[in-house]
Amino acid sequence: MAKKNSSKIEHPIKKTNKAGEHKSNGTNGKLANIDIKKLKPTKEEFQSALQVMLTARSVDTKAMNLLKQGKTFFHIGVAGHEAIQTAVGMILNKEDDWFYPYYRDMALVMSLGVTPIDFFLQCFAKADDPASGGRQLPTHWGSKKINLPSQSSPTGTQFLQAVGSALASVRKGKPVIAYVSSGEGTTSQGEFHEAVNWASRAKLPVLFVIQNNKYAISVPVNEQSGGKDNSISAMMAGYHNLYRARIDGTDFVKSYNTVTEAVNYIKEGKGPALIEAEVVRLLSHSSSDDQKKYRDPEELAEESAKCPIEKLSKQMLADRLITGEELEKIKKEINELINKSSDEAMAAADPLAEDAEKYVYDESGYKESLEYEKNEPSGKNIVMVDAINHALHEELKHNDKIFVFGEDIADSKGGVFTATKGLSTKFGNERVFNSPLAEASIMGVAVGMALSGMKPVVEIQFGDYIWPAFMQMKDELATIRYRSNNAWSAPVVTRVAVGGYIHGGLYHSQNIESIFAHVPGIFIAYPSNAADAKGLLKTACRINDPVLFCEHKGLYRQSSAISPEPDDEYLLPFGKAKVVREGKDLTVISYGVSLWDSVLAAKKLEADGYSVEVIDLRTIIPLDEETIYRSVKKTNKAVVVHEDTLTGGFAAEVAARIGDICFQQLDGPVRRICGKDAHIPYSPILENEILPNRSRIFDGIKELLEY
């Protein structure tokens, strides 16, 4: 039912100086007051629009009835939002444009080709649900037939992803529009403002549609928006390149006209557009809500009188675009279709319990097909930060879909640690560029680019500042493959400097691996030397899973981390630990700086007659359990050493697994030598007390040897 656009839409409204009419020579800084007499859809488009709106409304009615019958569990209705959504779906190009809708966008997705049976398959959580295979709540849209990535539940995360898809299309040289929507309440989220900022600054082809029904569940808009008259559009007045319009979103013709003009503005390269469509919410926020608890009956009656379907039906009847008999026939046919679709979906196969853990990671076999460790690293000795830099150079040359960005990463700065030095000079500012100082923006845009087929390799300057990006990483990056039932993936590589021992104080010394290890769907690398760093980073740039790449700042130029440089074909597999020192009396499992302190302790203990085996994990996720268990079963004692805190550190996970699997072979308790449960202070004296220093590591290992 969606209409395909030509490559350029003619401007529908010419400049005029008549009072009350909109001037269309750019709308920056002005609200757009559209004269609806200027442009109207054709008769066929009117009829198509009405059919979409009626279908969406009928699905609402059926879904609520199924809930009352106890056959389903949840629903979020579209009733009252149909006009603006249908207009967008008719005007945008479903073959090329990108769509990041929110949960109430049923009329939009149905205008793009999502069918009632698609909806009911999700409603009943069936195996053939095209959006998620029964893994997500109903009204969480997704389709590979359209550029419609599987939607998640957090409000506002979609905005930055839309910016990423728009940026990817520009980088490909084939700009298309990325549509993204939400209710007015979500515009209180910081990521909304970050997205508008990035899109406006870069003039990206993003269409923001804010469907303002004046309630964020129960919180009214006057308690949400600081814009003039609580307007979202007015709140965005400072963005010079942003087209802004505030319209009656229950009026289909007004919606159609405004979307047409906004799309034209975007296609002319002037910048993004934001439409604030004032709509009505005719149902409660969701099936779990009862709006009668917080809305007056008079207000609800007034809202019902603004029903967009009633408005459009009356207008079409008055203009003789449809007869009463034709309207009733359409309604009857739609009801029959809805009932049939519901029955078919209910009878469809359920998901299999044994598939519940599938698609947390890539299962295509691609990463297993790569040729690893083709040779021994034999180049000149190199420090770790330079090895990382060389890996990025090689992978940018190897794959033109790789884009590197983050804060301060472009030349002449080249990153605060020079890890990206020379990249933008060699590969250009289109592929290597500075981002805004906003970690959520970096990650959200990277996710959108990855969904669009790019391979972003982003830098978060310090692990201490990754937390604004955590929502995007935990709820979006890590879940997209699983929640889409393997339809979508976002293999973003996130490089981040971590660790202490450099007198960086509380906010430049954190370790973050244990927190991210709790998030299924993200691989975690933590190399301890230059060769491993290069080999693992090159692998991260090639595999189809997202990777958190932890780079210890204290090892960037540390002599212990220097190694011969691998060549440009050297890849190191994830999930393969390395025995860096063989022994028979005790096993030490470690990584990062603590690995080298453990090696030093093992060398000193050798003089006392002890033989200590030291294992470098190299990757936290996946964890090489086989190497750990084989060693512990040989030595019968185990110590896990890292600089992160004792409580909740990853050592606890390793120790627990050793206890489970190797209990009968153990001749002593599994010990942990870790940082103390405190923040990392600036003073070297205090820092040395908190972090596991060399003497504490030596004494801890020796104590267990003597147990």
Catalytic residue numbers, as ranges: 508
Give the pair of three-digit tokens for residue 412: 């002449």
Give the pair of three-digit tokens for residue 263: 């799309």
Cα separation, 108 vs 256, in Å, equals 13
Cα separation, 269 vs 275, in Å, equals 17
Residue 208 bridge partners (DSSP): 180, 274
What is the distance of C-alpha 267 from the center of its chain?
Answer: 26
Closest CA to 574 of 556, 547, 550, 614: 547
Report residue 258: phi and psi, to 5°.
-65, -45
Closest CA to 253 of 301, 318, 203: 318
Element at 370 (helix H, strand E): none
Q: Which residue's structure tokens are 């020379």?
A: 422
Cα separation, 607 vs 209, in Å, equals 71
Cα separation, 167 vs 680, in Å, equals 39
Element at 676 (helix H, strand E): none
Residue 277 bridge partners (DSSP): 211, 247
Residues 6+ apart with CB under 8 A from 448: 100, 160, 161, 162, 163, 164, 165, 166, 167, 168, 178
Cα separation, 195 vs 182, in Å, equals 13
Q: What string of DSSP letters covers 382-408?
A: E-HHHHHHHHHHHHHHH-TTEEEEETT
User: Could you tell me whether strands 563-564 and 381-382 are parallel, antiparallel, or unpaired per DSSP bridges?
Assistant: antiparallel
Kindly report the number of other CB atoms within 10 A of residue 42's CB atom: 10
Give the single-character DSSP code of 148.
Answer: B
Residues 6+ apart with CB under 8 A from 391: 533, 534, 537, 538, 541
Kindly report the number of other CB atoms within 10 A of residue 188's CB atom: 17
Q: What is the Cα Rg of the chain in Å? A: 29
What's the residue count for the chain? 707
* CB-neighbour burial class of residue 325 (10 A; exposed 0-12, middle 13-18, buried 19+): exposed
Cα separation, 562 vs 616, in Å, equals 15
Cα separation, 447 vs 433, in Å, equals 16
Residues 6+ apart with CB under 8 A from 349: 126, 127, 128
Rounded to whole angstroms, what are the CA distances from 79 to 115, 309, 336? 17, 9, 19
Give yes or no for a contact between 291 and 90, defined as CB atoms under 8 angstroms apart: no
Which runs of consecutive H residues, i.e. helices, occur in 408-529?
423-427, 439-451, 470-471, 480-483, 513-517
Long-range pairs of 354-362 with CB within 8 A, sequence gap ≥ 24: 355/133, 358/486, 359/481, 359/482, 359/485, 359/486, 360/481, 360/482, 360/520, 360/521, 361/481, 361/521, 361/523, 361/545, 362/481, 362/489, 362/491, 362/543, 362/544, 362/545
Q: Which residue's structure tokens are 């299924």?
A: 520
